[in-house]
């Protein structure tokens, strides 16, 4: 079993980054809300046998009423502790130091001078200046007994302080953000120098551990059903579970008629032919389109598609004898978003399009990606032999082309959109932009305009081209695609796709727009 670093989260916007930066150094790291350690008995924390504990930053001030705190027993466990920003101030306060409101706050880039090259600063020399990223209004004025200053800055004398004997190290800045250029080195000093981390976390070891875990959960006879969407998460989950239990995994792929060109055949050949997974491809196009006939209200479309998916999936799943488990591609951000900081009471976001199914069908969940970030899922996919073009696919919404085909859906209109979308995909890839863009796609508008092709008048619909940069889908900027590329896409779509005679470019960011049009 690998070593584990535990981050106690005080609500910093950077908490996830801490875990990622630690994992990037091949050390496993997980996040728990601070409430996990704000209990008289620290049994749950001790049970995790952490190799080191990191106290994150946070928006509160340690002297505020009801400010987040922890049981000071955390410092008596003999486990190294790293306090970052709020975590540093809390450490000082709990161990007898003095924290005050700083006259000069520190936000953004700052320079800290190493005073004592100890612990986290081990690879620096005394007097060396480091560029860091800071964001705090409070600072530590008086150190707790037994602590020494390790770094200082113009606006914050105690930028770093530590007790080497107690293995407690604190920094007022954020080593986890990229704006602290040597942040990884500082974290590495703490991980390997102070905690004695071995660097035993790798995708290969994750695969072995996960396989053992899946086998233990599912047993020697259990069957698992997995809804494949063609997206990265469900594909990687399926490939991993298949490694663990072979033909006791059955995958269901629902062709709802709202898929992109070649999507169904791609999934069938990859999972059915290549991986030899028991794959059921359900042809439900007619069924979906019948339900959706004449419906143009976006929310109605979404709901109908959701209900129909559950109905089709459930019907098929019932024919799989002895199935007791349902696989889901839930990722770590979904898990921490729902349990972090505010406490574990919030409900875990139900992912994918299988909402309600586990309870209705009495299925237990298998979620082998629960501990991974998206980029780790991609790494895992490559480790499992999935091709790069599938691993790096742009996100595609559950309701598929339905939310990109505005107005009432018909098969001919969907075919028009599919053809245009394939051209966009091809040209964006050919321009070498596909992987740097969050999403690029076409939206068919129920607007007809007059055009002229050859000597003939045309009266056809318009296509909006959408391309956005985003980090997480929550906010997005439209991409400044090169004019030549816009020109190529426009002329190819109009020349090659009957039904579109005008292409426009969507230059709306999110907010105020959303990424999808419906």
Catalytic site residues? 85, 174, 176
Provide the H-helix boundaries in 293-450.
298-318, 332-339, 357-360, 374-383, 388-391, 411-430
SS3 content of the chain, % helix, strand, coil (to 5): 35, 25, 40
Q: Per-residue string for binding with ligand XMP, 461-490, x by CB under 6 A?
A: ------------x-----------------
CB of 306 to ligand XMP, least distance (A): 8
Show the site string, 398-417: x = touches ligand XMP by CB under 6 A, - = not: xx------------------
Residues binding ligand XMP: what is the number (CB under 6 A)? Answer: 10
Q: Identify which of residues 87 and 397 has a Cβ nearer to ligand XMP in the complex.
A: 397
Stretch that binds ligand XMP, among 60-68, 235-243, 396-404, 454-462 (CB under 6 A): 396-404
Q: With binding defined as CB under 6 A, does residue 514 bind ligand XMP? A: yes
Instruction: Choose between 199 and 473: whose C-beta lies nearer to ligand XMP.
Output: 473
The Cα–Cα gap between 8 and 36 comes to 8
Only segment of 122-130, 279-287, 404-412, 508-516 that touches ligand XMP (CB under 6 A)? 508-516
**Cβ pair 331, 369 in contact under 8 A:** yes
Q: Which helix (H) or strand (E) holds 207?
A: helix 203-218
- Interface residue with ligand XMP, options 395, 412, 446, 482 (CB under 6 A): 395
- For 89, what's the count of Cα atoms within 13 Å in the CB-facing half-sphere? 28
Q: Which DSSP letter does residue 476 get? A: B
Identify which of 162, 183, 249 has the alpha carbon closest to the alpha carbon of residue 211. 249
What gap in Å lies between CA 499 and CA 464, rounded to an integer?
13
Closest approach of Cβ 347 to ligand XMP, in Å?
18
Least distance to ligand XMP from the beta carbon of 296, Å? 17
List, in order, residues 6 or more apart from 243 with CB less than 8 Å away.
207, 211, 384
Q: Which span sits near ligand XMP by CB under 6 A: 59-67, 392-400, 422-430, 496-504?
A: 392-400
* Residue 254: both structure tokens together: 């629902």
Distance between CA atoms of residues 180 and 377, nearest Å: 26
Query: Residue 354 Cβ, how far from ligand XMP at the closest point, in Å?
Result: 11
Q: Which stretch binds ligand XMP (CB under 6 A): 162-170, 251-259, 322-330, 397-405?
A: 397-405
Q: Which residues of 103-122 are buried (b: 16+ CB within 10 A; e: fewer)?
A: eeebeeebebbbbbbbbbbb
Q: Does 234 bind ligand XMP (CB under 6 A)?
A: no
3-state SS assignment for residue 69 = coil
Torsion (CA) 33, 36, 39, 45 in degrees, nearest 10 = -140
Nearest distance from C-beta of residue 352 to ligand XMP, angstroms: 7
Decide if residue 501 touches ligand XMP (CB under 6 A): no
If one asks whether residue 355 binds ligand XMP (CB under 6 A), the answer comes out as no
In terms of CB distance, is 122 or 393 closer to ligand XMP?
A: 393
Least distance from C-beta 318 to ligand XMP, angstroms?
24
Main-chain phi, psi angles of 233, to 5 degrees: -65, -50
The nearer residue to ligand XMP, 87 or 227, going by C-beta atoms, is: 227
**Which residues inside 191-220 make contact with ligand XMP, applying CB under 6 A?**
none
397 binding ligand XMP? (CB under 6 A): yes
Nearer to ligand XMP, 91 or 235 (CB): 235
CA angle 161, 162, 165 (to 5 degrees): 165
421 scored as a contact of ligand XMP (CB under 6 A)? no
Q: Is 439 in the site for ligand XMP (CB under 6 A)?
A: yes
Q: How far is the CB of 359 from ligand XMP (least distance, A)?
A: 20
Dihedral angle sign, alpha carbons of residues 452, 456, 460, 463: negative
Residue 392 in the binding site for ligand XMP (CB under 6 A)? no
* Residue 299: CB minimum distance to ligand XMP, A: 11
Under rule CB under 6 A, residue 515 binds ligand XMP: yes
**How far, in Å, CA of 132 to CA of 149, rounded?**
17
Sign of the dihedral through C-alpha 138, 143, 147, 153: positive
Compute how many other C-beta atoms are within 10 angstroms of the C-beta atom of residue 13: 13
Question: Could you list the residues that contact ligand XMP (CB under 6 A)?
Answer: 395, 397-399, 439, 473, 510, 514-516
């Amino acid at each position: 079993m690998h070593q584990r670093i535990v981050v106690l989260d005080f609500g910093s916007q950077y908490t996830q980054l801490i875990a990622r930066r630690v994992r990037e150094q091949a050390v496993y790291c997980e996040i728990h809300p601070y409430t996990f350690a704000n209990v008289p008995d620290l049994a749950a924390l001790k049970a995790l046998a952490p190799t080191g504990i990191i106290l994150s930053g946070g928006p509160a001030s340690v002297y505020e009423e009801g400010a987040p705190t922890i049981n000071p027993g955390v410092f008596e466990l003999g486990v190294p502790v790293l306090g970052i920003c709020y975590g540093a101030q809390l450490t000082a306060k709990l161990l007898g130091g003095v924290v005050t409101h700083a006259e000069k706050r520190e936000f953004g880039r700052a320079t800290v001078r190493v005073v004592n090259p100890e612990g986290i600063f081990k690879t620096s020399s005394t007097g060396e200046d480091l560029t860091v990223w800071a964001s705090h209004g409070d600072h530590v004025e008086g150190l707790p007994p037994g602590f020494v200053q390790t770094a200082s800055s113009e606006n914050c004398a105690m930028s770093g302080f530590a007790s080497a004997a107690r293995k407690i190290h604190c920094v007022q800045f954020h080593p986890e953000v990229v704006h602290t250029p040597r942040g990884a080195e500082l974290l590495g000093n703490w991980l390997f120098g102070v905690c004695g981390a071995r660097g035993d976390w790798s995708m290969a070891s994750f695969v072995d551990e996960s396989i053992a875990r899946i086998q233990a959960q599912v047993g020697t006879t259990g069957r698992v059903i997995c809804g494949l969407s063609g997206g990265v998460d469900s594909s990687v989950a399926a490939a991993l579970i298949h490694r663990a239990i072979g033909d006791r995994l059955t995958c269901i792929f629902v062709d709802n008629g709202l898929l992109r060109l070649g999507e169904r055949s791609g999934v069938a050949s990859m999972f059915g032919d290549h991986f030899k997974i028991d794959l059921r491809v359900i042809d439900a196009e007619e069924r979906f389109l019948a339900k959706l006939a004449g419906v143009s209200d976006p929310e109605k479309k979404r709901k109908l598609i959701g209900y129909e998916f559950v109905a089709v999936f459930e019907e098929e799943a019932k024919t799989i004898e002895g199935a007791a488990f349902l696989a889901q591609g839930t990722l770590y951000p979904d898990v921490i978003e729902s349990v972090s900081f505010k406490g574990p009471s919030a409900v875990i976001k139900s992912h994918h399009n299988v909402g309600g199914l586990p309870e209705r069908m009495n299925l237990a969940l298998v979620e082998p990606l629960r501990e991974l970030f998206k980029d780790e899922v991609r790494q895992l996919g490559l480790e499992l032999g999935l091709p790069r073009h599938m691993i790096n696919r742009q996100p595609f919404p559950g309701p598929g082309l339905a939310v990109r085909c505005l107005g009432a859906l018909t098969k001919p209109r969907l075919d028009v959109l599919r053809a245009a979308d394939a051209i966009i995909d091809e040209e964006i890839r050919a321009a070498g932009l596909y992987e740097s863009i969050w999403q690029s796609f076409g939206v068919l508008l129920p607007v007809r305009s007059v055009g002229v092709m050859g000597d003939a008048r045309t009266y056809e619909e318009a296509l909006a081209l959408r391309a956005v940069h985003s980090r997480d889908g929550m906010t997005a900027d439209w991409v400044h695609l090169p004019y030549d590329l816009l020109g190529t896409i426009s002329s190819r779509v109009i020349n090659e796709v009957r039904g579109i005679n005008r292409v426009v470019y969507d230059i709306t960011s999110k907010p105020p727009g959303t990424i999808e049009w419906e």
